[in-house]
Amino acid sequence: MKRILIIDDEQIVLEVLCKILELEGYEVVTAASGDEGIELFAQNPFDLVVTDMVMPGKDGLQTILALRQESPDLAVIAMSGGGTISKERYLAVAGYLDGIVTITKPFSLESITEAVAELLAGGDEER
């Protein structure tokens, strides 16, 4: 069973994504911050990480870079609903890294499930 780590500071997003991905048959663990996600990943690596880009403390980009130090080929889905700059700019930065699919919030069920299936199968592209 593929293991997925979801990192987001919004509890409702964690709950929704967890339920969607568990129904798809994945083992899902959640973290409410970049630091917590990095700690969980260090304890037991995951096949895929879904992370918000705009979070207090370590933001999504810092989190991705830290995780990639441990696992350079880690598949990642970067999500953003925006912040002090537009969500497209946050996602554009993440999109420059290999193995990352970017998804804007609000997201559709299909965009998440398709991106997860695609990355776990070895492909990557922007949504």
Q: Does 127 reside within a domain?
A: no
Q: How many domains does the chain have?
A: 1
Confidence (pLDDT) at 102: 79
Q: Does 126 reside within a domain?
A: no
Confidence (pLDDT) at 94: 55
Question: Is residue 114 helix, strand or coil?
Answer: helix
Which is more confidently placed, 102 or 53? 53
Q: Does 89 reside within a domain?
A: yes
Digit-coded pLDDT (tens) for 68-107:
999 999 999 999 875 555 555 555 655 556 778 878 888 8
Range of the domain at 104: 3-121
Digit-coded pLDDT (tens) for 12-47:
999 999 999 999 999 999 999 999 999 999 999 999
Tokens for 49? 């990480």
What is the reported pTM? Answer: 0.87
Q: How far is CA 15 from CA 3, 48, 57, 83, 90, in A?
A: 16, 17, 21, 21, 23
CATH number, domain with residue 110: 3.40.50.2300
Q: Does 116 reside within a domain?
A: yes
